[in-house]
Chain A
């Protein structure tokens, strides 16, 4: 009998079976179910089910992030309905306006562990694959179903393996790797798949760089994505467990517990496809309007005029991303006729960015710093473009109308490219600014 993929192992565990195979439908019991500002809608569906109490309050995690602080009365009413429901049902893992973007906050707060299953009423629930958890997006009716019953049917996905070896050149990031993959294989290249990432490039990446990868795989059609958890992951989680569980110090038992939960695919597991990338041959890429798979090398769109540069989101709003932008912006100013918007992914990111002086750098450069949350990424507020305007952003999606205005363009790129473009007022290559810094 052949070996098992990560998806087969994770969904066997979550459905309490010794083994399952790709294609099988299982009743899975998620370890966590996440939602955000859509929780009011979910609570109404939950009530329509006629059940008084949620089955496992401790497994529910809710973070307000999509429109925070409330931009209109309708949004405020939506938030208050969520707060009422959370109190009534005794849901402890509730994170208020300003704490940050759900996927970042729930990672920081350790609501899910390696090898576990998290389902979320958000397409970017794939993000939790960074730690080797199985994360998949679902609809809000399904979230209500899990609140009521604790389980949901899932099809065990086929798996695809992407092996990345070699060193990423300076100015080239995990975002560029993802854009290249999606550009090569298109938006449905990983449709219904569990996409596993392996190779030396992945294992040498920082945690922050890793988080980008499963997040972007939502744009590849993936059901979930997986990066093998290593010591770096266990250390990162254990440090946060110490904080969130108010422990005195990081202990060996925390680490060994994480190690015992982690799941790894077998060497002889069956994959629908295997692809290899050499990181050293990659360059900065940009996804052009209005598709994430409309990917071009940065050199081909360099010079395109922009009016707005947006750094943030669950894809690229972490400390490392802010550091990359601050490096570019230090001592420079945002070009006339251009606005730059920085929205840290969480309050922890914001706090650390203040401590390290990045926020000061942004403000001195003339950028706007916003409240941790999704910002204009969902088109609700805080940076909605005017018709005809062009934005370059670190977002994961550039679909027509996504930022709230149908006739506006959005280019997707890495934090350094977004910052360099803000300085120039047109799409720019950060490597030219590094060069300039060295020459000066």
Chain B
């Protein structure tokens, strides 16, 4: 898998309340509407200007706080393919994987990448190419790679449970 896109760069300890505010968790349930509130309390320009294929670069402890999965799905619905950070909060890391958004831990790349630049990520070669140079990151474990490659945990489980042939309903509901 390869990604090519523009970077939105943020700092350390970005929490899930500013990625997707809790007040919307039960009332905003449509994927398009969820995308409109992505990063609302962190960067009011993000949701209106982000393009499919864009990537996020964060500092340490990206996604700390609430377990709300919308903090991952709001990025997915915006078209974000990957989040590159120095470290991730663990539940949000799982939520990103389970929704097919790739979490990449690479501190040196985070320091090198500039906000707004366009970068290339190669998951198979586990490299990031940016203006400053190339950076390697540790490969994802096979378990995680399979989930991401299949498009998320639900798709992976449908394959495992042999229910892939059944129609996939649109999942549209809130929940903190």
B171 touches A (CB below 8 Å): yes
Residues of B within 8 A of A48 (CB): 154, 158, 168-169, 171
Do A397 and B163 touch across chains, with their CB atoms under 8 A apart?
A: no
Residues of A within 8 A of B89 (CB): 188, 191, 221
Residues of B within 8 A of A123 (CB): 65-67, 91
Q: How many residues on A have C-beta within 8 angstroms of the other chain's C-beta atoms? A: 58
Q: Which of A41, A223, A379 contacts B173 (CB 8 A)?
A: A41
Q: For the complex, give the distance between the alpha carbons of A142 and B26 in Å.
A: 19
A45 touches B (CB below 8 Å): yes
Do B41 and A145 touch across chains, with their CB atoms under 8 A apart?
A: no
Q: For the complex, give the distance between the alpha carbons of A219 and B66 in Å.
A: 9
Do A404 and B61 touch across chains, with their CB atoms under 8 A apart?
A: no
Do A51 and B163 touch across chains, with their CB atoms under 8 A apart?
A: yes
Minimal Cβ-Cβ distance residue in A for B172: A44
Do A66 and B176 touch across chains, with their CB atoms under 8 A apart?
A: yes
Do A291 and B94 touch across chains, with their CB atoms under 8 A apart?
A: no
Minimal Cβ-Cβ distance residue in B for A120: B67
Q: For the complex, give the distance between the alpha carbons of A223 and B94 in Å.
A: 12
Residues of A within 8 A of B153 (CB): 141-142, 145
Most buried by A among B41, B99, B158, B175: B175
Binds A, one of B2-10, B11-19, B49-57, B120-128: B11-19
A200 touches B (CB below 8 Å): no
Chain B positions 79-96 with a Cβ under 8 Å from a chain A Cβ: 87, 89-91, 94-95
Q: Which of B27, B60, B65, B161 contacts A148 (CB 8 A)?
A: B161
Residues of A within 8 A of B66 (CB): 123, 397
A50/B166 contact (C-beta < 8 A), A123-B67, A148-B157 known: yes
Do B173 and A142 touch across chains, with their CB atoms under 8 A apart?
A: no
B58 touches A (CB below 8 Å): no
Residues of B within 8 A of A144 (CB): 154
Q: For the complex, give the distance between the alpha carbons of A263 and B64 in Å.
A: 29
Q: Which of A25, A138, A221, A380 contacts B64 (CB 8 A)?
A: A221
Contact with A along B30-52 (1 / 0, CB 8 A): 00000000001100000000000
A289 touches B (CB below 8 Å): no
Minimal Cβ-Cβ distance residue in A for B147: A153
Do B87 and A50 touch across chains, with their CB atoms under 8 A apart?
A: no
B25 touches A (CB below 8 Å): yes
Binds B, one of A32-40, A278-286, A333-341: A32-40
Residues of A within 8 A of B27 (CB): 72, 74-75
Q: Which of A122, A148, A384, A401 contacts B67 (CB 8 A)?
A: A122
A203 touches B (CB below 8 Å): no
Do A149 and B173 touch across chains, with their CB atoms under 8 A apart?
A: no
Q: Which of B17, B69, B158, B174 contacts A401 (CB 8 A)?
A: B17
Q: How far is the CB of A89 from chain B (nearest CB, A)?
A: 17
A399/B91 contact (C-beta < 8 A), A50-B161, A122-B67, A141-B154 known: no
Q: Which of A49, A188, A401 contacts B87 (CB 8 A)?
A: A188
Do A78 and B154 touch across chains, with their CB atoms under 8 A apart?
A: no
A121 touches B (CB below 8 Å): yes
Most buried by B among A25, A153, A400, A402: A402
Do A380 and B26 touch across chains, with their CB atoms under 8 A apart?
A: yes
Q: For the complex, give the distance between the alpha carbons of A393 and B175 in Å.
A: 23
Do B17 and A400 touch across chains, with their CB atoms under 8 A apart?
A: yes
Q: For the complex, give the distance between the alpha carbons of A195 and B30 in Å.
A: 38
Do A400 and B18 touch across chains, with their CB atoms under 8 A apart?
A: yes
Q: Which of B61, B65, B67, B166 contacts A121 (CB 8 A)?
A: B67
Do B90 and A400 touch across chains, with their CB atoms under 8 A apart?
A: no
Chain A positions 50-107 with a Cβ under 8 Å from a chain B Cβ: 50-51, 66-67, 72, 74-75, 78, 81
Q: For the complex, give the distance between the alpha carbons of A402 and B66 in Å.
A: 10
Residues of B within 8 A of A40 (CB): 173-175
Q: For the complex, give the distance between the alpha carbons of A301 and B145 in Å.
A: 48
Contact with B along A372-410 (1 / 0, CB 8 A): 000000111000100000000000010111101010000
Residues of B within 8 A of A145 (CB): 153, 157
A192 touches B (CB below 8 Å): yes
Contact with B along A4-40 (1 / 0, CB 8 A): 0000000000000000000001000000000011111
Do B94 and A142 touch across chains, with their CB atoms under 8 A apart?
A: yes
A-B contact pairs, 15 of them (CB 8 A): A40-B173, A40-B175, A42-B175, A44-B172, A47-B169, A50-B163, A74-B26, A74-B27, A121-B67, A139-B95, A188-B61, A188-B89, A192-B90, A379-B22, A384-B23
Given contacts A144-B154, A188-B61, 19 further A-B contacts (CB under 8 A): A37-B26, A38-B25, A38-B68, A44-B173, A47-B169, A51-B163, A74-B26, A74-B174, A123-B65, A138-B94, A139-B91, A141-B98, A141-B154, A145-B157, A188-B87, A400-B41, A401-B17, A402-B17, A404-B22
- Nearest 7 A/B pairs, CB to CB: A38-B175, A50-B163, A41-B175, A188-B61, A399-B17, A41-B173, A139-B95
